[in-house]
């Protein structure tokens, strides 16, 4: 009997540890959904003051304009996206948007664009590459072919995607005339396969800018942390105390079963409060340390200093896996926009400084197939294989800082990387 009791206690402890880890790892939306789910099962939890609709999140720290529904022009849409981008030529990108036609194409010649915007060709290419990374995909293309290829670059590279790119590059005119036999012969594939690839093309948008000024919603991440005036604060909308419906406590005297039920639900509330408190305190401690350690980055225009998850874990006296869970999908909001905590605190080896990561990215691109350049997502995967875990967005950022075009741009620029 005692053995069974001990095993049962061990199981309960194990289950509680799993739940604690899960709550620590959840992003804001997952956390609020989890609390709301528990509140449906536990009448003692009052979430009226804690869980608010996502459209209200942000009002208390001046980013409500980022998540509101509004009638937006394409220019406004691009402007809000650029807030979260670390690029040097934001104004030039916004100026490029002015030159797009109603479908999102840049129809002017490079010479005319450079004359109009008073920039050189290199600056134009950098701005165009930056524009092509924004939503909706396909913006800034000069032709339908380029527009479709830009959208395919966003997809995971598979054999079908590769063949679809080849089809667009070599057989778009034949395809538009339904000359499947000619396409089949050129590509060395069956006509049925041509029709399969056509279905992929039909999922793409040949007019990426169409429909703007219709009511749209730009979904921005909800941060756990706000850094403002050189101080760290928790998102006040998220981190509110869980209240207890005290009206139910008076029911304890009704019967033993009712008392047992109320006590079990109180224990659940207490445990949830403990998990949330530990989550809040750890994320806050991480943010306070980061603000102090990365002053040059947050308060000035300096670069980030190298900081690995294992080093931070040692400094805060927790396990590295705890740090990994705590920063997963968590955002900081500051003057620079939204920043993933995991981008500031990567996993990896001692050699994973920003400069060394950039060198690795350059090396990967130098060694790629020049006919079939690597997408940013593929580079992210290859870096992970080398022990460098950063997001695709960070790869794109570092590549841009190295003045290396994206995959589609590298197809058209000979020696874009090797000559740098």
Which three-class secondary structure string do you get for 182-226?
A: HHHHHHCCCHHHHHHHHHHHHCCCCCCCCCECEEEECCCCCCCEE
pLDDT for the residue numbered 287:
92
pLDDT for the residue numbered 124:
92
Q: Tell me how far apart the alpha carbons of residues 259 and 252 are, in angstroms, rounded to a whole number.
A: 4
User: How many C-beta atoms lie closer than 10 Å to residue 401's C-beta?
Assistant: 15
Q: What is the pLDDT along the chain (420 residues), one digit of tens a residue?
A: 445 545 666 666 767 788 888 888 888 888 888 888 888 888 877 765 554 444 444 444 444 433 333 335 788 778 877 866 677 788 899 899 989 988 899 989 899 899 988 999 999 999 999 999 888 899 999 999 999 999 999 888 899 999 999 999 999 888 888 888 898 999 999 989 998 998 899 889 898 887 675 334 445 678 899 998 889 998 877 777 777 777 666 665 567 787 888 888 888 888 888 898 999 999 999 999 999 888 888 887 676 777 888 888 988 899 989 999 999 988 888 887 788 888 888 776 555 566 778 888 999 999 888 888 898 889 988 988 877 777 787 888 788 878 888 887 776 544 434 444
Q: Tell me how far apart the alpha carbons of residues 357 and 379 are, in angstroms, rounded to a whole number.
A: 11
Interhelix angle 144-152/159-176, nearest 10 degrees: 160
Tell how many helices (H) and how many strands (E) occur in the chain. Answer: 19, 8
**CA triple 386-392-395, angle to 5 deg:** 70
Would strands 45-46 and 331-334 be described as parallel, antiparallel, or unpaired? Answer: unpaired
CA atoms within 13 A on the CB side of 420: 15
pLDDT for the residue numbered 409:
75
Interhelix angle 256-293/28-41, nearest 10 degrees: 170
Longest pairwise C-alpha distance within the chain: 86
Answer for the pair 155, 121: CB distance below 8 angstroms, yes or no. no
| Host H or E run for residue 228 | strand 225-228
pLDDT for the residue numbered 54:
41
Radius of gyration for the chain, computed over Cα atoms and rounded to the nearest angstrom: 26
Three-state secondary-structure class, residue 342 = helix
Beta bridge partners of 243: 46
Question: How long is the chain?
Answer: 420
Q: Which domains does the chain have, with CATH numbers?
A: 19-58+222-342 (no CATH), 69-216 (no CATH), 354-412 (1.10.10.60)
Q: Tell me how far apart the alpha carbons of residues 405 and 399 are, in angstroms, rounded to a whole number.
A: 7
């Amino acid at each position: 009997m005692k053995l069974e009791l001990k095993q049962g206690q061990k199981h309960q402890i194990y289950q509680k540890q799993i739940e604690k880890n899960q709550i620590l790892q959840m992003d804001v939306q997952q956390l609020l959904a989890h609390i709301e789910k528990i509140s449906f099962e536990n009448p003692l939890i009052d979430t009226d003051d804690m869980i608010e609709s996502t459209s209200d999140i942000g009002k208390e720290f001046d980013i409500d304009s980022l998540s509101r529904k509004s009638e937006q022009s394409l220019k406004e849409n691009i402007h809000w996206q650029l807030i979260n981008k670390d690029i040097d030529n934001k104004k030039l990108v916004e100026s490029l948007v002015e030159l797009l036609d109603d479908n999102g194409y840049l129809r002017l010649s490079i010479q005319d664009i450079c004359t109009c915007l008073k920039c050189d060709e290199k600056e134009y290419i950098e701005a165009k590459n930056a524009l092509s990374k924004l939503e909706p995909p396909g913006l800034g293309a000069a032709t339908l072919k380029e527009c479709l290829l830009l959208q395919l670059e966003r997809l995971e590279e598979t054999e079908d995607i590769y063949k679809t790119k080849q089809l667009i590059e070599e057989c778009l005119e034949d395809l538009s005339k339904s000359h499947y036999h000619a396409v089949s012969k050129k590509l060395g594939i069956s006509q049925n396969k041509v029709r399969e690839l056509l279905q992929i093309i039909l999922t793409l948008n040949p007019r990426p800018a169409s429909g703007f000024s219709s009511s749209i919603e730009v979904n921005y991440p909800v941060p756990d942390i706000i850094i403002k005036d050189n101080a760290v604060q928790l998102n006040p909308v998220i981190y509110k105390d869980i209240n207890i419906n005290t009206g139910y406590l008076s029911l304890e005297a009704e019967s033993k079963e009712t008392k047992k039920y109320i006590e079990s639900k109180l224990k659940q509330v207490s445990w949830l409060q403990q998990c949330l408190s530990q989550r809040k305190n750890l994320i806050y401690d991480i943010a306070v340390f980061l603000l102090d350690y990365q002053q040059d980055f947050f308060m000035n225009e300096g670069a980030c200093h190298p900081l690995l998850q294992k080093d931070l874990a040692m400094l805060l006296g927790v396990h590295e896996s705890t740090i990994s869970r705590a920063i997963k999908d968590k955002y900081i909001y500051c003057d620079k926009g939204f920043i993933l905590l995991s981008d500031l605190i990567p996993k990896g080896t001692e050699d994973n400084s920003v400069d060394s990561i950039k060198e690795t990215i350059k090396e990967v691109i130098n060694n790629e197939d020049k006919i079939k350049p690597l997408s940013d997502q593929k580079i992210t995967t290859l870096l992970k294989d080398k022990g460098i875990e950063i997001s695709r967005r960070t790869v794109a950022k570092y590549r841009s800082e190295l003045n290396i075009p994206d995959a589609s741009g590298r197809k058209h620029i000979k020696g874009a990387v090797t000559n740098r």
